[in-house]
Amino acid sequence: MSEYRRQTWVFVLLALLALFAGCKGESSPTAPPVTGPGSTDTTGTGTTNPATGAVVTLAVSPATPVIGSASTITATVTVAGKPAPNGTGVEFSTDIGSFCLAVTGCSEPTTNPIRAALRTTTNGISTIVISSSAVGVATVQAVVNNVSAKTTVNFVATPVDPPRPDLTPAITAVTPAIGRPAGGETVTITGRNFTTPVRVLFVTDTGVTKEAQVISASANEIKVFSPAFDVGTTQQLKATITVINAAGSANESRITLATGTFTYQSTILTPKVTTMSPASGPINGGTRSTIFGEGFQSPLQVFFGSAEAQVVSNTFNQIIVLSPAGSTTSPNGSGAVLGPVDVRVVNINSATTVTASGLFRYTPKMQITLAGPNEGPFTGGTEFHIDGTGFDDPLTVVAAGVAADIIRVSGTQILARTNPVTPTGCNDISGPIVVTNGDNGDQATGPSFTYRISKPFIISAVPSGPGPIVPGSSVLITVANAFGLPQFKFGSVTPIVSGATPNADGTTTYTVAVPLNIPLQTGNCGGTTAPQATSFDLTYTSALTTCTNTQTGGLFVSPPQVGNLFLTPNPLNLTATAAVPASAGPPPVAGTPAIPGNGTFNIVNNGGAPLTITSIATGGCPGYIVSGPPPGTVLQACDIAAVAVQYPAGGPPSCLITITATSGSTTLVRNESVIGTTH
């Protein structure tokens, strides 16, 4: 028998040695790798494990590729100074990018990039291709038989070509921009890339073309004498300047600046007036108006009747003025003037003048005498009248800083309608009613208008289904004057609003979930605590108006309507006294009998619904005596049922009593641990 055991141990030892040798072979880097996401073997199996002392060197080309392109990593493996045997395995890995199965079309896949791969050597050389779709430095490692080498590939963004100089010929400026019709003035044309010889043409709006005499020319500047033109009765003629670049050569081109780059204008101008806008204004003056025409030449004067107006600015064909007060336009210099007045323009240097009969009309100064109603909801839609004088359509009406829609206008009354206003808080928005005439800018301020911000009011909060409101149930909360996104608070808890229903009476009913963790009050219950029905302050806030309404104690939440099984005390510790035998020898002494340990634990229903006890079971409790309420006993909330337990002296030190009860469709199981000690 001993010889057999010795042989058995020898076989076991040999098996362990063979197993160890196999495990060592499997750990070789030339063994086929385990496949999985992010790795692949592109060469198959059959690789060779080189001898100890392999040397690995890495080369990268290119070392700084553009993202989306590829770079080749070349691993040179030598053993004792000679190329490693063909088929030697090289394990490549990278931290970013992806290895490619082929150079053509190599790009990093959007999912499952290949970041580990096994390649083999040929004449000591093994290569792999890498690409990346993101900018970054990839650290590539090659491992051969626990010998490793690292290199980096820096993927960069697509290079941007440096800006190239603009070689396109162009005209940038012409100085001066105005000249005499007789010509002969030196005009400087500034630009870039001019190539001599050059020619310069002046082409008028009427289609007449004349060539200017070139004085000098360089790459950036051409000077010419302006040709003469007959401006005719218009007193002004605009011409486009065109430069013929490299004239007469194969590279000849035309360069033109925008139409009207040079203006021929008569030395002495005669003013002409065609129209005026606005053509009316209030009698107190100050109306900013534009006179249109031609031949306006500084310095000049403008008269409204007998009164000189203030000239703001003028060009050849426009004059901007401020109308004088109507009373000053009268020939006798006093008295109110209503209706049309003549407008006269005088070119001072040429002493030429033009008068436009009745071109401007003085109107009564605007006044607002009455406006109403003077308030409405912030949602707009309130129609209100403005009574007064001097209203001149088109005009604008602004109420409390918000433009109103114009419905009807007469000289003495305006009917307008308010637009919605965006509240900045819960306070009403008030401001004056302002009317502005569009033609003459006359303006009047009337009484205030108030946008009323409707204050919300919580009407009711009821359960969405049968039964009381409990944690996790939904509440239907009806609110009057609810605008924008609602925000509710149950005490300090923020619930989730899952729906909103507009009602026919203008109120809104929201469906709100009572949080499961809402902090219900607790009360004493059979030696423990139980959740109690609790009142919470109910608060609604409009995210649009920030208006808030709170109902104190407006939400009454009951505890979950299910019983809960609670055992106390747990564990139950019992102590028994062992029997003492009678003393030996005469005279005999009587011994002490064993005394069992007795105790009681309570079954408490500290839930919110009746609880029915279905069983009281013991396990591994020989000698223990357990007596409690019979199956079917119903405990109302906070009811207690006592369970008596007797532990026999010398019995098992622990006993597990399992109490099973039901509440509705819920089954509850609790274990009572009894620990017995014998003295």
pLDDT digits (tens, 9 = 90+) for 327-352: 888 876 555 577 899 999 999 988 89
pLDDT tens, position by position, 584-603: 556 656 677 889 999 999 99
Q: 27-41, 94-108, 253-267, 522-536 — which is least confidently predicted? A: 27-41
Q: What is the dihedral of CA 110, 112, 116, 121, to 10 degrees?
A: -70
Q: Which amino acid is at 123?
A: N
| Residues 156-186: tens digit of each pLDDT | 987 656 678 888 999 999 999 999 999 999 9
Task: From 202, 219, 221, select the one nearest 210 (Cα to Cα).
Answer: 202
User: What is the value of pTM for the model shown?
Assistant: 0.48
Tell me what pLDDT residue 622 has: 87
126 falls within a domain = yes
Residue 189 lies in a domain: yes
Indicate whether 472 and 436 sit together in one domain. Answer: no
Point out the domain boundary residue: 95, 126, 155: 155
Q: In this structure, are residues 219 and 302 in contact, taking their beta carbons and an 8 Å threshold?
A: no
Span 545-574, average pLDDT: 94
Asked which of 363, 397, 415 is the last residue of a domain, the reply is 363
pLDDT given at position 480: 96
Specify which residues 592 forms β-bridges with. 580
Count of the separate structural domains present in the chain? 6
DSSP for 517-561, written as a single string: T----EEEETTEEEE--EEEEEEEEETTT--EEEEEEEEEEPPPS
The Cα 522–Cα 607 span in angstroms is 11
Q: Is residue 282 part of a domain?
A: yes
* b/e 323-356 (16+ beta carbons within 10 angstroms → b): bbbbbbbeeeeeeebeeebebbbbbeebebebeb
What is the percent of the chain with per-residue pLDDT over 70, rounded to a whole number?
Answer: 88
Residues 91, 70, single domain; the answer is yes
Q: What is the pLDDT of residues 189-242, one digit of tens each?
A: 999 999 999 999 999 988 899 999 999 999 999 999 999 998 877 788 899 999
- In this structure, of 90-104, 119-133, 144-158, 608-622, the range with the lowest mean pLDDT score is 90-104
261 and 278 co-located in one domain: no
Give the integer Cα–Cα distance in Å for 475 and 308.
77
How does residue 650 score in pLDDT terms, banded at 50, 70 and 90?
A: confident
Identify residue 575 by its one-letter amino acid code: T
> So what's the pLDDT on residue 485?
93
Q: Cα–Cα distances in Å, from 589 out to 581, 582, 586, 646?
A: 9, 5, 8, 29
Look at residue 537 in the predicted model and tell me its pLDDT: 97
d(CA 481, CA 542): 9
Would the pLDDT of 259 be above 60?
Answer: yes
Q: Residue 635 — pLDDT band, cuts 50, 70, 90?
A: very high
Burial of residue 179 (CB within 10 Å: 0-12, 13-18, 19+) is: buried
User: 391 pairs with which residues across the strands?
Assistant: none
pLDDT of residue 33 exceeding 70, the answer is no
Predicted confidence at residue 589, as pLDDT, reads 61
Is the pLDDT at 258 greater than 70? The verdict is no
Distance CA 101, CA 91 (A): 15
Q: Is the pLDDT of residue 121 over 60?
A: yes
Per-residue CA distances from 676 to 213, 234, 304, 597, 642 (Å): 128, 126, 120, 8, 19
CATH of the domain at 346: 2.60.40.10
- The verdict on 512 and 477 lying in the same domain is yes
Contact 98, 117 (CB under 8 A): no
Q: Is 537 buried (19+), middle (13-18) or exposed (0-12) by CB count in 10 A?
A: middle
Q: Is 90 exceeded by the pLDDT of residue 19?
A: no
CATH number, position 552: 2.60.40
Check residue 289 and report its DSSP letter: E
pLDDT at 94 over 50: yes
| 446 shares its domain with 371 | yes
Q: Tell me, what's the pLDDT at 17?
A: 39
Residues 446, 449, 455, CA angle at the centre, nearest 5°?
A: 170
- Structure-token pair, residue 450: 């108030």
Of residues 11 and 140, the one with the higher pLDDT is 140
Q: Are residues 60 and 141 in the same domain?
A: yes
- pLDDT tops 50 at residue 102: yes
Q: Verify that 282 and 325 share a domain, yes or no.
A: yes
Is residue 647 within 8 Å of residue 573, measured between CB atoms? no
